[in-house]
Amino acid sequence: MLNVYEVNTLVYDSDLCNGCAMCVAVCPHAVFEMNGRLAKLTNAQACMECGACQLNCVPGAIAVESGVGCAAAMIRAALTGQKEATCDC
């Protein structure tokens, strides 16, 4: 795999979009853009799965498996048998 970061868990259903533009406002990597009255997924591979858009999307048009993209936290979680990795920063 030349770039493991090209693929992620972000899914968007524009049929459910109500055009509130919240996803555009909260995304730190400009993954969404407003295209007329609706949001458009224009830069999906930049998604870091922080979950901000999903949490602030009232009609539920966005789904993403959010979590910390931190190997140190995941290794620690695996070693200590934690279910969910959380960082200590």
Task: Answer yes or no whether residue 43 interacts with another protein by CB under 8 A.
Answer: no
The minimum distance between CB 57 and another protein, in angstroms, equals 9
Among the listed residues 47, 8, 51, 19, the one whose alpha carbon sits nearest the alpha carbon of residue 31: 47
From candidates 22, 41, 61, 62, binder to another protein by CB under 8 A: 22
Distances (CA, A) of 37 to 23, 26, 40, 41, 72: 13, 18, 10, 13, 41
User: Does residue 63 bind another protein (CB under 8 A)?
Assistant: no
Are 4 and 46 in contact, with CB atoms under 8 Å apart? Answer: no
Contacts with another protein, residue ranges (CB under 8 A): 1-5, 7-9, 22, 24-30, 46-52, 55-56, 58, 65-75, 86-89
